[in-house]
């Protein structure tokens, strides 16, 4: 205990000096960097940016005004392979937006039940039905090969891109 007393006696004056210095320059002048921007859209000058319902509601409304785009049990507590599921979902989204190029009007909804994956989206009626049927089969086949489980596409089609627009900002 004696040596502790010595240490405190030596250290304390220095610490006090530091503290007093810190008190002198207490105003924080750098810019605020805690701005939250993801999933939020800026208002344009002409108010002509089209937003879907999903885009119109920022992320903190998930579960209140809008629901999740990925439905699976991996996000539950102590569930298995959460990271793999998330990576697979990202891959599925990228693959579908690329395969159905400029046709996907909404977010891609991925629902997993047991070992099946059901993918839903809203597609524009810009290509012929035959091509659409081909793409459905192609996507299902390739995805089920990569994911090693049955994949079903459940698409809804709209005649025009503007059908999914919820509001303009």
Partner 1 sequence: MTTNLVRLLECNIRNSKATVAQRTMRVFSSQQEQSSVEDDEEFRVLNLRTIKQQARRRVIKKDAVPPPRTTHMPVDQDWSAVWSGPRSFHPASVPLPLRQGYTERGAAAPSKYANAELMKIPNFLHLTPPAIRQQCEAIKKFCTPWPKGLESEATWKAIFPVEVITTDYCHSLPTIRHPEARRVTITLNLVDLKFDAHAKDKFLRLVGERYNQETGVLTFTADRCPTRKQNYDYALYLLTACYHESFVTEPWEASKSEADMEVYLFERNKAKLSAEAILNWNVNGEKQAPSATYAESVEKLINEGENEYNIAKYKEEVLKMLKIAN
**How far are the Cα atoms of 72, 87, 153, 159, 169 from residue 125, in angstroms, in the given order?**
29, 29, 16, 5, 25
Per-residue x/- marks for partner 1, 85-124, CB under 8 A? x-------------------xxx-x-xxxxx--x-x-x--
Candidates 32, 80, 83, 98; binder of partner 1 (CB under 8 A) is: 80
Minimum CB separation of residue 23 from partner 1 in Å reads 48
State which residue, 97 or 157, has the beta carbon closest to partner 1: 157
**Which residues lie below 8 Å from residue 14, measured CB to CB, with a gap of 6+?**
none
Minimum CB separation of residue 127 from partner 1 in Å reads 10
Is 31 a residue that touches partner 1 (CB under 8 A)?
A: no
**What is the spatial distance between Cα 36 and Cα 140, in angstroms, rounded to a whole number?**
37
The single-letter DSSP state of residue 49 is -
Candidates 7, 94, 125, 133; binder of partner 1 (CB under 8 A) is: 125
**How far are the Cα atoms of 62, 71, 73, 79, 113 from residue 83, in angstroms, in the given order?**
21, 14, 12, 11, 17
Q: E-strand spans in the chain? A: 50-52, 70-71, 109-113, 116-124, 151-158, 165-168
State which residue, 24 or 129, has the beta carbon closest to partner 1: 129
State which residue, 30 or 148, has the beta carbon closest to partner 1: 148
Is 74 a residue that touches partner 1 (CB under 8 A)?
A: yes
Here the tokens at position 154 are 């459940």
Candidates 81, 94, 101, 131; binder of partner 1 (CB under 8 A) is: 81
**What is the spatial distance between Cα 10 and Cα 159, in angstroms, rounded to a whole number?**
80
Minimum CB separation of residue 115 from partner 1 in Å reads 5
By CB under 8 A, name the binding residues for partner 1: 52-54, 57, 61, 64-69, 71-74, 79-81, 85, 105-107, 109, 111-115, 118, 120, 122, 125, 128-129, 147-149, 154, 156-159, 163-164, 166
């Amino acid at each position: 205990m004696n040596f502790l007393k010595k240490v405190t006696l030596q250290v304390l004056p220095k610490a006090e000096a530091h503290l007093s210095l810190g008190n002198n320059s207490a105003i924080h002048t750098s810019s605020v960097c805690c701005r939250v921007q993801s999933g939020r859209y800026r208002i344009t000058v002409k108010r002509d940016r089209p937003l879907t319902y999903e885009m119109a509601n920022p992320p903190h409304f998930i579960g209140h005004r809008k629901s999740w785009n990925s439905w699976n049990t991996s996000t539950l507590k102590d569930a298995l392979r959460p990271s793999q599921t998330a990576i697979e979902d990202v891959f599925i989204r990228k693959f579908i937006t690329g395969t159905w190029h400029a046709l996907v009007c909404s977010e891609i909804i991925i629902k997993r039940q047991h070992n099946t994956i059901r993918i839903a989206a809203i597609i524009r009626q810009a290509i012929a039905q035959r091509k659409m049927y081909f793409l459905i089969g192609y996507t299902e086949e390739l995805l089920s090969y990569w994911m090693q489980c049955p994949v079903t596409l459940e698409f809804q089609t709209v005649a025009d891109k503007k059908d999914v627009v919820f509001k303009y900002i």
